[in-house]
Chains A and B, each alone.
Chain A
Amino acid sequence: MLEVRDLAIARGGIAVLERLSFRVGPGQALVLRGPNGCGKTTLLRTLSGLQPPLDGQVTLAADSLAYASHADGLKPTLSVTENLMFWAAVFGTGRAAVETATDRMNLRPLAARAAQNLSAGQKRRLGLARMMLTGRPVWALDEPTVSLDAASVALFAAMVRAHLENGGAAVIATHIDLGLAEAEILDLAPFKARPPSQGGSKGAFDEAFA
């Protein structure tokens, strides 16, 4: 469903990862590991098409990837249901999907509350519930479990597992163990970009001076 070949990516004009290849098929999850600043977020943004790769190829069916960033994209003055209804309308999934997502992430008791009055963990749950409204097969999740408690992490893992069982796929950048036994783990450290003097990819910054 998602294939990456020989990918090189840059953040702020400086190459961070190179020679990266992997493939994620239906029902598979890929967990990205690596130290801070190694390019996990940049990789996910490249996969979702928000920024172009330096080199290499990302093969992905059009409109098949849903991206969840660090920020949840919630509107503070809208209620939980209104926030979800907006994204359901954008992705064309409708009311029933909102109801399911509300129940699955245990947001029912908060449904009428404005997003500005939610706790950090509750906001995160609302942000993750949005993924179920996208109806897209490939999920790219950036640190999805930040500020979630153990019970919510379990809810999230169950949500991802259900998505995988329906033939979906997920790429997840995270530092904690999600309890997803089927997930494959990819350590990004070996793919760290070498300096251009040692044959590494040139960032846009280097090109400007070449």
Chain B
Amino acid sequence: MLALLTRDLRLAVRAGGGFGLGLGFFLILCVLVPLGVGPEGGRLASIAPGILWVGAMLACLLSLDRIFALDWEDGSLDLLATAPLPLEGAVAMKALAHWIVTGLPLVIAAPVLGVLLHLPVAAQPWLVVSLLLGTPALSVIGAFGAALTVGLRRGGLLLSLLVLPLYVPTLIFGAEIVRRGAEGMALATPLLLLTGVSLGSVALLPLAAAAALRINLR
């Protein structure tokens, strides 16, 4: 399973691998929003949590269809499915690789981009915490969607339609943590709910994704 993880990471950083795609999108969004909304600090600060979380979510969505589509096209998904590796484990590893390539750079870059959006200093640590807790859910839910749509030509639209509603709880609780952090309110409830969403997704969705893959490979 580690071999699959290192292979996917190696593929991601080689030419055309898509590393930095999500991060680039996130960066562009956070640079452009102040230009579009105007430089007024108070207004930016009030929308910053939402913008940062929507940006992170869309950045994740951008690279989802690559999780299985490339392996399906070149036939390695068939070979992986017949390999001794459990397909559930393969799905989990591919979701983890997606998170390391897409989610983790967002977590690291978010505080810097938060400054661009006038995010209050008090909210900075909560931004990192919420992204750290929430982005794994985005990757795993996305892997499930990608498994459902693997093999479809131009399945990206269907993938987005399937995945976006599932992203809504993560988005709401994630942005809520940052907003409450900025205003110094109690944030145990959204924090626990976000953690619950993430843990539940990580525990259940690899099984569902593997079942979807098996059906799609027939």
Contact = CB atoms under 8 A, between A and B. Distances in A.
Contact of A72 (B15, B75, B85): B75
Given A77-B11, A90-B4, A50 B83 contact: no
A86 B79 contact: no
A72 to B, nearest CB: 6
Prevailing SS type, chain A contact patch: loop
Interface residues of B, number: 24
A128 to B, nearest CB: 13
Interface in B67-90: 73-76, 78-85
A121 interface: no
A109 B11 CA distance: 23
Contacts, number: 69
Contacts of B80: 90
B84 A50 contact: no
B97 to A, nearest CB: 13
Interface residues of A, number: 29
Given A50-B217, A51-B218, A72-B74, A65 B82 contact: yes
Contacts of B78: 50, 67, 69, 71, 73
Interface in B1-26: 2-4, 7, 10-11, 14-17
13 contacts: A49-B82, A51-B217, A52-B218, A67-B78, A70-B75, A71-B75, A73-B79, A74-B74, A74-B76, A75-B74, A78-B11, A82-B7, A82-B10
Nearest 4 A/B pairs, CB to CB: A71-B75, A89-B3, A73-B76, A77-B14
